[in-house]
Amino acid sequence: MNQATGLTRIVKAAGYSWKGLCAAWRHEAAFRQESILFIVAAAVACWLDVSLVERILLIGSVALMVVFELLNSAIEAVVDRIGSERHELSGRAKDMGSAAVLIAALIALFIWGSILYQHFWGAA
């Protein structure tokens, strides 16, 4: 068994990651939408006159949502690969993945709302 080590392993892992990002972009509309949202949000966060920590929170919260969307898409792909028949556990797995994305989106909304409120209407 010839397993890649060191730099070879890192290069191969990066290739697999790139393939995963390309597959998500090609097959998952939600991933495309959230990726575009991430680019816009990152640009807005860089434009806003906020502290470094606030900027990291703004960008990181939306990035977290994209990460959870990737995980949700992976769960859905595995469940769909197993079979097309309806099963309670398959539905539960998909619903839980979706719930993770929802919670990440709510966290992002809370962070953005809190920072924007403080920046534009909060006490100085």
Please identify which of the residues 62, 69, 97, 105 carries the catalytic annotation.
69
Nearest to 65 by CA among 42, 43, 35: 35
Structure tokens at 3: 């397993």
Per the CB < 8 A criterion, the answer to whether 83 and 38 are in contact is: no
Q: How far is CA 75 from the centre of its chain?
A: 14
Known binder of ligand: residue 34? Answer: yes
Known binder of ligand: residue 55? Answer: yes
Per the CB < 8 A criterion, the answer to whether 75 and 97 are in contact is: yes
Known binder of ligand: residue 120? Answer: no
Known binder of ligand: residue 17? Answer: yes
- Catalytic residue list contains 69: yes
Known binder of ligand: residue 54? Answer: no
Known binder of ligand: residue 12? Answer: no
Known binder of ligand: residue 88? Answer: no
Known binder of ligand: residue 87? Answer: yes
Give CA torsion, residues 29, 31, 36, 42, to 10 deg: 170
Gap between the Cα atoms of 11 and 26, Å rounded? 23
What are the binding residues? 9, 13-18, 28, 30-34, 47-50, 55, 69, 76, 85-87, 94-95, 98
What are the binding residues for ATP? 9, 16, 28, 76, 85-87, 94-95
What are the binding residues for a divalent metal cation? 28, 76
As annotated, the active-site residues are 69
What are the binding residues for substrate? 9, 13-18, 30-34, 47-50, 55, 69, 98
